[in-house]
Amino acid sequence: MEAVLAHLRGAIERGEYDVGEKLPSEATLGKEFEVSRSVIRESLRGLQALGFTESRTGKGTFVTASGPAQNPRFGPYSARDLFEVRRHVEIPVAGYAALRRGSEHLDLLEHLLGRMEVENDNTAWVALDSLFHITIAQASGNPVFGKVIEEIRDALARQSAFLNQLGDRRAQSNVEHRTIATAIAAGSQTDAVEAMAAHLDHVENALSTIVAKTAAPAASEDRNE
């Protein structure tokens, strides 16, 4: 998926596809790259999140920009929207969870962590990731926090999948999640807040790195063929 996305991104940045032009169909791209349509579909979603394209129902995927957006979108929300909300909600929520969590919350967090640490399927891992963050919100004892996370759940899942596919974030996220859960289990509000803040810092930095990547490697590969 990363190789296909890099190739398509490079082609757009080099002007091989003009703004307003329609990209080849998923079936055509699948044959060209010799990969499944699901790989092509994920690659096109990545292009759209980066601001290069938009999908028009029944018409296909069209180029909308020759360079990446500085503020990628995941469903109805931008990355900036998500980070602003997460910093104002999830960081204090982790602290409240450390003070108010029950044994059922700790058991569920441990169960989710155990599954995430051995899960190899990205889609399954992303679903567990969503449940992990929702469980922390529920452990805060304030149902409003849970509602907020539920509202942005789909966008968070899209962002998480994107980061795992292009930023290889899954293993490091497991470590960060374990640190958060350990602080909550220990009842340390300070440590839980710091652990969640560090986690969000790493997520934001990873996204910034992906956005900043150039198409130079793809261009070099083309010249070498």
Q: What is the pTM of this model?
A: 0.78
- Summarised one tens digit per residue, pLDDT across range 147-179 is 999 999 999 998 998 888 777 889 999 999 999
Q: Please compute the mean of the pLDDT values over residues 201-213 and round it to a whole number.
A: 87
Class of domain 75-211: mainly alpha
Report the alpha-carbon distance of residue 153 to residue 217 in Å, rounded: 34
Q: Which fold has domain 2-69?
A: Arc Repressor Mutant, subunit A (1.10.10)
Q: By the 8 A CB rule, do 80 and 169 touch? A: no
Report the alpha-carbon distance of residue 169 to residue 175 in Å, rounded: 10
Q: Please compute the mean of the pLDDT values over residues 189-218 and round it to a whole number.
A: 84
Give, in order, the Cα–Cα distances in Å from 20 to each of 9, 12, 29, 63, 109: 15, 11, 18, 5, 46
Q: Where are the domains of the chain?
A: 2-69, 75-211
The count of other CB atoms within 10 Å of the CB of residue 188 is: 16
Check residue 213 and give its pLDDT. 67
Report the alpha-carbon distance of residue 46 to residue 9 in Å, rounded: 10
